[in-house]
């Protein structure tokens, strides 16, 4: 919301306190310990933290609407019970965001240098297992509801073989196979640590045999060939403009004649100032990557034209994201 007065500015700036409280509580596994409801001292003993400090944190979580307090006992509010505890836990994405906080702390340094010191998002450059697992499982947390909604809007008439570049946890692969029964072969191309998560997440998928996992680095390896469609979702933003051009050219080469390239991103408008999610995400990529940012639909469409793709279209597919689509010329 656009700040209009000093009070709004203060509310904006204080936002970090609520975020930090939630992120630390999630890291501690606090929400997972409140079924049945418990007192702060008991939970503090189990977590090995100071009981007075935890009580203050839990009171603030109550004020935020994440806990409910009755006497000296706390229980999860419905939203915390739904997403931060139990089988439907989606806190990996919050753990990932908390890992990124360290890089955000250096925003002023990033502005001076033009980029981060630690290239975290360039996942090849670090091998911290927790960081990587939370990142990829976090992608599943975020896309579990979104993927089915997005893939049903895509025209995949005649598509049998689909390549999902940077397919991460396999959430889109699963959604494609559910929504498009004529697909017979979905290949997820990603780095080995991401495929390890995909393997786990795809267990029990009714069409598991139709998914292939191919380990590779799209900056070094080729993507294969003869695909009827290639899906590149939330990948370009981690690459520089030159990296995007190279990756799209590689993808265009991997298409069968008439095949479609579909790029899914937080798309900026032509001014690159809206929507808010994309403009903030551009800064996130500034602090996390060497050369990445959010892009506009027109920038991506232009790179597709450079690759010789035709019938290029840009369209919104969710509140925050859009798809840029192009087709390899069919002689
Ligand atoms: C932000 S996630 C997006 C995951 C998924 N496509 C989605 O939309 O939710 C970026 C994905 O790109 C993969 N990736 C990043 N660099 C890569 C590279 N050089 N080669 C292959 N995959 C890469 C990451 O491992 C991760 O799965």
Distance 167 CA to ligand 1 centre (A): 6
Do 144 and 291 lie in a common domain? yes
Do 83 and 142 lie in a common domain? no
Query: From the CA atom positions of the chain, what is the Rg in Å?
Result: 22
Do 43 and 190 lie in a common domain? no
Is any ligand 1 atom within 6 A of the Cβ of residue 143? yes
Do 261 and 118 lie in a common domain? yes
Residue 56 in any domain: the answer is yes
CATH number for the domain including 18?
Answer: 1.10.10.10
Residue 290 in any domain: the answer is yes
Place of tokens 């408008």: 269
Residue 83 in any domain: the answer is yes
Residue 275 in any domain: the answer is yes
Place of tokens 């606090």: 30
Residue that is last in its domain, among 36, 56, 89: 89
Query: In a structure prediction context, what are the per-residue pLDDT tens digits for the chain, which is 331 residues long?
Result: 799 999 999 999 999 999 999 999 999 999 999 999 999 999 999 999 999 999 999 999 999 999 999 999 999 999 999 999 999 999 999 999 999 998 899 999 999 999 998 654 444 445 577 889 999 999 999 999 999 999 999 999 999 999 999 999 999 999 999 999 999 999 999 999 999 999 999 999 999 999 999 999 999 999 999 999 999 999 999 999 999 999 999 999 999 999 999 999 999 999 999 999 999 999 999 999 989 999 999 999 999 999 999 999 999 999 999 999 999 998 8
Residue 96 in any domain: the answer is no
Domain that holds residue 141: 111-327
Atom 1, ligand 1: residue with shortest CA distance: 234
CATH number for the domain including 287?
Answer: 3.40.50.150
pLDDT tens by residue, 11-45:
999 999 999 999 999 999 999 999 999 999 999 99
Task: Please choose from 168, 195, 243, 291 the residue to mutate so as to test ligand 1's pocket, defined by most ligand atoms within 8 A of CB.
Answer: 168
For the entire predicted model, the pTM comes to 0.95
Measured from the Cα of 171, ligand 1's closest atom is: 9
Is any ligand 1 atom within 6 A of the Cβ of residue 194? yes
Do 76 and 133 lie in a common domain? no
Is any ligand 1 atom within 6 A of the Cβ of residue 235? yes
Q: Is 267 left (phi over 0), alpha (psi -120 to 50) or beta?
A: beta
Residue 1 in any domain: the answer is no
Do 117 and 84 lie in a common domain? no
Place of tokens 């695909």: 227
Q: For the chain, what is the domain count?
A: 2
- Residue 151 sits at φ, ψ, to 5 deg, of -70, -25
Do 131 and 260 lie in a common domain? yes
Residue 246 in any domain: the answer is yes
Distance 19 CA to ligand 1 centre (A): 26
Residue 106 in any domain: the answer is no
Distance 44 CA to ligand 1 centre (A): 38
Q: How far apart are CA 119 and CA 70, in angstroms?
A: 45
Q: From residue 93, how far is each of 10, 44, 82, 132, 145 by CA, in Å?
A: 27, 24, 15, 11, 14
pLDDT tens by residue, 73-127:
999 999 999 999 999 999 999 999 999 998 899 999 999 999 998 654 444 445 5
Do 159 and 281 lie in a common domain? yes
Do 173 and 243 lie in a common domain? yes
Predicted pLDDT at 119: 52
Do 136 and 234 lie in a common domain? yes
Do 51 and 168 lie in a common domain? no
Secondary structure of the chain in the HEC alphabet?
CCCCCHHHHHHHHHHHHHHHHHHHHHHHCCHHHCCCCEEHHHHHHHHCCCHHHHHHHHHHHHHCCCEEEECCEEEECHHHHHHCCCCCCCCHHHHHHHHHHHHHCCHHHHHHHCCCCCCCCCHHHCCCHHHHHHHHHHHHHHHHHHHHHHHCCCCCCCCCEEEEECCCCCHHHHHHHHHCCCCCEEEEEECHHHHHHHHHHCCCCCCHHHEEEEECCCCCCCCCCCEEEEEEECCHHHCCHHHHHHHHHHHHHCEEEEEEEEEEECEECCCCCCCHHHHHHHHHHHHHCCCCCCEEHHHHHHHHHHCCCEEEEEEECCCCCEEEEEECCCC
Do 48 and 121 lie in a common domain? no
């Amino acid at each position: 919301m656009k700040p209009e007065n000093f009070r709004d500015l203060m509310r904006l700036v204080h936002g970090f306190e609520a975020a930090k409280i939630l992120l630390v509580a999630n890291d501690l596994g606090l929400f997972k310990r409140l079924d049945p409801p418990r007192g702060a001292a008991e939970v503090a003993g189990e977590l090995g933290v100071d009981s007075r400090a935890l009580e203050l944190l839990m009171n603030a979580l109550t004020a935020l609407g994440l806990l409910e307090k009755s006497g000296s006992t706390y229980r999860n509010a419905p939203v915390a019970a739904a997403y931060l505890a139990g089988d439907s836990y989606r806190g990996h994405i919050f753990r990932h965001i908390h890992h990124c906080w360290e890089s955000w702390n250096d925003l002023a340094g990033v502005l001076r240098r033009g980029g981060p010191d630690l290239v975290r998002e360039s996942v090849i450059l670090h091998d911290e297992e927790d960081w990587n697992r939370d990142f990829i499982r976090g992608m599943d947390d975020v896309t579990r509801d979104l993927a089915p909604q997005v893939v049903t809007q895509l025209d995949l008439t005649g598509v049998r073989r689909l390549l999902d570049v940077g397919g991460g946890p396999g959430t889109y692969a699963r959604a494609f196979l559910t929504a498009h029964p004529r697909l017979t072969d979905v290949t997820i191309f990603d780095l080995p640590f991401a495929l390890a998560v995909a393997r786990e997440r795809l267990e029990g998928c009714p069409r598991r045999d139709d998914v292939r996992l191919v380990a590779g680095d799209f900056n070094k390896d080729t993507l294969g060939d003869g695909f009827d469609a290639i899906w590149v979702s939330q990948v370009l933003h981690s690459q520089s403009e030159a990296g995007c051009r190279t990756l799209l050219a590689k993808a265009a080469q991997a298409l069968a004649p008439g095949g479609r390239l579909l790029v899914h991103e937080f798309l900026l408008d032509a001014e690159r100032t809206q929507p808010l999610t994309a403009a903030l995400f551009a800064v996130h990529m500034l602090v996390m990557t060497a050369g990445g940012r959010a892009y506009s639909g027109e920038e991506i469409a232009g790179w597709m034209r450079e690759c010789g793709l035709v019938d290029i279209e840009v369209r919104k597919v969710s509140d925050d994201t859009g798809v840029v689509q192009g087709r390899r010329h069919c002689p």
